[in-house]
Chains A and B, each alone.
Chain A
């Protein structure tokens, strides 16, 4: 579904991604781990189309289409969803109105009729229950004054509403209390199906106990330096990243 080939990208003239290769198949759950500043959010931003990143080399294919040629909104309409590490606040725009606009833009793109009134509210209620989202936050301004955890949960609620094919969750688990972590993970598991793929960026093995990944990748200094299964996450939890860095240096000095 998603193929990333030798992806290089820079921001403010600084090379951040230095040759990422990644293949994500339908229905797969991938976890990306790695030290702070290694480029995890940058990879997510490049996939979503943030304009201050410049791709200097490489390709990204999504369902046979060149993702890098598309505007951010078209990527979203094609089915790429990014749950932001730091969701922004937009005062004056109600959460509900925002979601309705987003949903109907995507539906229109796909040639589906817009959802209005009762139908829209029905879907909202259904998804709200699915991911256990606080209904009181629906009529507030988008993320304005939301607590850190509420913002993260709003991202997952949007994910449920917009029903993308590929969801990239950037540290959605950070800032969640223990109960919220379980609820959000349950939500993600309910949304999982044979057609949908996930990329979960996280620092904590704990999340991966709830959401069991098919693959775990370690991103370091702009490259994926190791790929394994859920056991790799356990090993990282125990040993940290240093042994991997050393392995890498050994390899590179050979």
Chain B
């Protein structure tokens, strides 16, 4: 019979389910970060001159920047020169349909539970799959096109819709925003592009799955979503990576633009390889995500379930520029073993009558360290702005850490800002109570955790809420009762 402490320790030994590699012929650039590699990537992707120049500006900004020091963890040493900045499955020609995708690749995505085959695809979910740096397949493209929805790889968008890309690229996250965003601007390889035309309600969930496979590569995708007036889109990203002893860098950028009365719901289920129980290996997930509610009465909602990565460091943010626009941030971040999460959001209230809601649920187990960091800024024009923040921490065991750093900057007297925070611990007496009713410790923990994260998971599209719930129980399996 295991006691709670043994069960807590046991979680650490739980293996990462998605840690396999795929054997596939790859084009990999030699390691090193310099102008040549940037030109190489740009040429490989047949990019227009303006984009190459934009990349080079990003690189110039990057060279002038230092790694930040304010985060609540020790910045790991990153040798950016040792990374390769381009890796792509070798393909013989341009792919026209899924039938031409390398069967090994299709099999990989099947293994991950992501069917790229349209007949088998989840009803109502269009998928863009990114393998290492390159988008391999986008499903349901035709059906979406009929409605004027553009959903394709970033590279393809640059070729087919260069004006749209040029109009919005870098308008939310500038090329010099922060050191990782600058690096991404310089070397980004692919990602997803979405445009929803005026008045269109996107008829299905759009979904991107990112998979890192190649060794010693960084992954730098860019996602750009533009929702034109009165449109609606719900977008989901999922991520996995094989187990490797070395850490791998993932520095993506996501930009969202919502015009008048448009709504974007962006959900993330992040399950990158977290490293082993001693903290060896795992992904450094240093991502910049920001949306702008440009139009009046527009809305952007971020939902994230972060269970993987050695270090998760990101603050999906919303700029509430349009009057009466609305921003939301719902987050579950789980750390165990030696995982670190320093995550939260920034909400900038600029327009009048703007509203925001922040619900953050941190779960810390093992020797994990979880920080919530959030900024609510209200500008002078933002009359009657409102914010509600609920920031909860759940501790499992005695060796984990949990911290909150809420910042409030209000320059408008009519603003109403509410902040609530709780810290609780799964107690042995709670576990015993459930045990004494026939519920084993693992189920008991799952029951408590599911109750705790319910408000956030409810924000996810149904199929993914179920998946996220499973992922949470797998993640915490053997960690607590």
Within 8 A of A (CB), among B406-459: 424, 427-430, 432-441, 443, 447-448, 450-452, 454
In the assembled complex, which residues on chain A have CB atoms less than 8 Å from the CB atom of B119? none
A51: Cβ under 8 A from any B Cβ? yes
Given contacts A101-B443, A105-B443, contact A90 B437 (CB under 8 A): no
* A71→B440 contact, CB < 8 A: yes
In the assembled complex, which residues on chain A have CB atoms less than 8 Å from the CB atom of B223? none
B123: Cβ under 8 A from any A Cβ? no
Assembled-state Cα–Cα distance A177/B448 (Å): 31
B307: Cβ under 8 A from any A Cβ? no
B356: Cβ under 8 A from any A Cβ? no
B462: Cβ under 8 A from any A Cβ? no
Assembled-state Cα–Cα distance A91/B435 (Å): 17
Assembled-state Cα–Cα distance A71/B448 (Å): 20
In the assembled complex, which residues on chain B have CB atoms less than 8 Å from the CB atom of A71? 1, 435, 440
Given contacts A71-B1, A90-B430, contact A106 B451 (CB under 8 A): no
Give the total number of A-B pairs whose CB atoms are below 8 A apart: 78
Give B475 Cβ to nearest chain A Cβ, in Å.
Answer: 18
Most buried by B among A90, A98, A158, A162: A90
Given contacts A51-B4, A90-B451, contact A73 B427 (CB under 8 A): no
Assembled-state Cα–Cα distance A148/B427 (Å): 20
In the assembled complex, which residues on chain B have CB atoms less than 8 Å from the CB atom of A101? 439, 443, 447
* B433→A162 contact, CB < 8 A: no
Assembled-state Cα–Cα distance A148/B451 (Å): 23
What are the interface flags for A18-34 relative to B under an 8 Å C-beta threshold, 1 for contact and 0 otherwise? 00000000000000000
In the assembled complex, which residues on chain A have CB atoms less than 8 Å from the CB atom of B94? none
* B438→A92 contact, CB < 8 A: no
> Which B residue's beta carbon lies closest to that of A108?
B438
* A48→B443 contact, CB < 8 A: no
Assembled-state Cα–Cα distance A162/B3 (Å): 25
> Which A residue's beta carbon lies closest to that of B361?
A92
* B451→A94 contact, CB < 8 A: yes
In the assembled complex, which residues on chain B have CB atoms less than 8 Å from the CB atom of A204? none
* B451→A141 contact, CB < 8 A: yes
A88: Cβ under 8 A from any B Cβ? yes
Given contacts A71-B440, A88-B427, contact A93 B451 (CB under 8 A): yes
A244: Cβ under 8 A from any B Cβ? no
Assembled-state Cα–Cα distance A94/B454 (Å): 11
In the assembled complex, which residues on chain A have CB atoms less than 8 Å from the CB atom of B433? 84, 87-88, 90
A72: Cβ under 8 A from any B Cβ? yes
Assembled-state Cα–Cα distance A158/B3 (Å): 25
Given contacts A51-B4, A88-B427, A88-B429, contact A76 B438 (CB under 8 A): yes
* B454→A92 contact, CB < 8 A: yes
* A106→B436 contact, CB < 8 A: no
In the assembled complex, which residues on chain A have CB atoms less than 8 Å from the CB atom of B429? 88
In the assembled complex, which residues on chain B have CB atoms less than 8 Å from the CB atom of A76? 435-438
Give A106 Cβ to nearest chain B Cβ, in Å.
Answer: 4
In the assembled complex, which residues on chain B have CB atoms less than 8 Å from the CB atom of A109? 438
Given contacts A92-B451, A97-B447, contact A72 B435 (CB under 8 A): yes
Most buried by B among A48, A84, A88, A106: A88
A102: Cβ under 8 A from any B Cβ? yes
In the assembled complex, which residues on chain B have CB atoms less than 8 Å from the CB atom of A98? 434, 437, 447
In the assembled complex, which residues on chain B have CB atoms less than 8 Å from the CB atom of A49? 435-436
Assembled-state Cα–Cα distance A158/B439 (Å): 13
> Which A residue's beta carbon lies closest to that of B446?
A101
Assembled-state Cα–Cα distance A149/B437 (Å): 20
Give A60 Cβ to nearest chain B Cβ, in Å.
Answer: 15
Assembled-state Cα–Cα distance A92/B452 (Å): 5
> Which A residue's beta carbon lies closest to that of B435?
A72
In the assembled complex, which residues on chain B have CB atoms less than 8 Å from the CB atom of A105? 437-440, 443
In the assembled complex, which residues on chain A have CB atoms less than 8 Å from the CB atom of B424? 91
Give B326 Cβ to nearest chain A Cβ, in Å.
Answer: 26
A82: Cβ under 8 A from any B Cβ? yes
What are the interface flags for B145-182 relative to A under an 8 Å C-beta threshold, 1 for contact and 0 otherwise? 00000000000000000000000000000000000000
* B451→A77 contact, CB < 8 A: no
Assembled-state Cα–Cα distance A123/B435 (Å): 22
Given contacts A71-B1, A92-B448, A92-B454, contact A50 B439 (CB under 8 A): no
What are the nearest 6 A-B pairs in CB distance?
A92-B451, A72-B435, A76-B438, A102-B437, A93-B451, A106-B438
17 contacts between A and B (CB under 8 A): A48-B432, A48-B436, A71-B1, A72-B435, A91-B452, A92-B448, A92-B450, A94-B451, A101-B439, A102-B439, A105-B437, A105-B439, A105-B440, A105-B443, A141-B451, A158-B437, A162-B438
Chain A residues close to B by CB (< 8 Å): 48-52, 71-73, 75-77, 81-82, 84, 87-88, 90-94, 97-98, 101-102, 105-106, 109, 141, 158, 162
